[in-house]
Chain A
Amino acid sequence: MPSDQKDLGGVEPTEAGGRSSRVDDRARRAADELHARDRALVEQVLSGDLDAFNRLVELYQDYLFALTVRVVRDREAAADAVQEAFLNCYRNLARFRGGSFRSWLTRIALNAATDILRVRKRRPADPYPEWEDDAWQPPADESEGPERTTLLRSRHTVIAAAMEHITVDQRKAIVLFDVEGYDYQEIADMTGVSLGTVKSRIHRGRLALRDLLLPDMELLRD
């Protein structure tokens, strides 16, 4: 669960893994407060306050980087995409028409990630990310024993490797749905495709992941 999911207004994940399809009034009010906060910051930025923009960056950079890394599968490329996304955001902030700033920013970041992937496809440099790098590992949880930690590491490694082999569109849809908790319609709006296409990408992507992970399925079962 990404830490920023709290920013969505305390939306509790469902059993299926972080889906925020049902929000109670309290959560809705909290989300409205966040939207109001973001809108206020945007207005300050539009009046020339750069610090206000950097406050928005501080609020969303962790979320945006984690999301982009999952899509691009390369930290440096993801960092470039996020930097580009924030600059694009600053450049086009006047076009923000309210609503969820987080969703708007996500859409910009996904576009930047798509650009990066297109460039990489033309000029493949390092197709294999450093899966064993510590930066990819979950924070150490002292309550977990060493066996559990090893299991989690292995699980994340095989999932990350499998994610590499599904299509970018499927990966984006699965990350947005399963990890970030957006619903179908939000994903359709962000990616510019129909609702049916979003569902198809998610379900076919999961089937592809399952086939890829079949030899290691024991690692995924708790």
Chain B
Amino acid sequence: MDRHQPALPDGTDHDHHDRLLIARSLDDGLDAVEMSQAERLIQSCPGCASLVGDLRSVSTAVAHMPAARRTRDFRITAAQAAAARGSALTRLLRGARLLPGLDPPRRQIMQPLAGAAIAIGLVLVVIGSGWPSTGPAGPGGSAGTAATHEGPVTAAGATSDTPESAPPPRTSQGGAVEVGDDASPVATIGPDVAPFASDSQAEPDRSAESEDPISEGSGPSPTPSPRATEAVDPTATLPPNDTAALPSQRPTPAPVTTIDDASAWPGGDTGVAIVGLVLAGVGVLLLLLRPIARRLEGR
């Protein structure tokens, strides 16, 4: 609309006149310049003059619309009042503004907040589980586990998530874990990693894991990878009576976890996953708050 277009005396260009300006002129919402423009349009254009008259008629007619008769009595009973007051819990939640109150729905942030908490929580869980950076996992290995070998590469034993089955290993000066006298399960652990660090606490050497056929967990292999032999030298750590048992000759291969990445985050990804789980749980709780509150309030 061209607000500044001069009105023609014959009003032929009424379609191009600013109807909104005419409508606004009905109330005292125009400044002096706009008001003079509106008055000029109304005086010179029959269409605009007619529009003003019609708008006045509409406004007056709407104002005098009859009021609908009430269909019921809205006084509340004692039972309704008790239900409306709610339990002590709902009163507490309402006082803390955790329950829907008087704000219009568009101002309520509970659901978006809950959705965001769930989304962030799930992302943290996924990150905590090590999924994004994990290569192809072996049959027995889950995402985020340290390089788990079943077989004869090292002196064998159990994985590190069963610490009770493996007594705390002694660490040699070089940092490698010594194998117990009874050739109990042993995990080779880097210098700074706690002996019973969980799987996810230790960051595996991914390149070694992916390139090492042993890490595929397909069973005994006659040729241990150089990396694995670097981590644990069986002949160096095994007691003399066990040196004869070369990896390839051991009858019952057992899994061994090599945790040789000393830069693993202390506290590990498990912490991230737990934080994620808690966050997602809080999100779900927030999401369920409204229906729970309504149920509590007996609505």
Residues of chain B touching chain A, judged by Cβ–Cβ distance below 8 Å, are 19-20, 23-24, 26-27, 29, 51, 54-76, 78, 80-81, 84-86, 94, 101-107
Contacts and interface: CB of A to CB of B under 8 A. Distances in A.
In terms of DSSP, what is the predominant structure of the interface of chain A?
helix
Contact of B76 (A13, A53, A156, A220): A53
A203 B84 CA distance: 39
A58 interface: yes
A207 B55 contact: yes
Contacts, number: 152
A17 B63 contact: yes
B59 A178 contact: yes
Interface of A: 1-3, 13, 16-18, 50, 53-54, 57-58, 61-62, 64-66, 69-70, 75-76, 78-79, 82-83, 86-88, 90-92, 95, 107-108, 110-111, 114-115, 118, 135-139, 155-156, 159-160, 163, 174-175, 178-179, 184, 192, 199, 202-204, 206-207, 209-210, 213-214, 217, 220-221
B67 A115 contact: no
Nearest to A184: B29
A160 to B, nearest CB: 7
A86 B76 contact: yes
A135 B84 contact: no
A13 B59 CA distance: 13
Contact of B84 (A90, A118, A178): A90
Contact of A18 (B27, B63, B74, B103): B63
Given A86-B76, A90-B76, A179-B62, A16 B26 contact: yes
A17 B76 contact: no
Given A54-B75, A86-B76, A199-B29, A92 B101 contact: yes
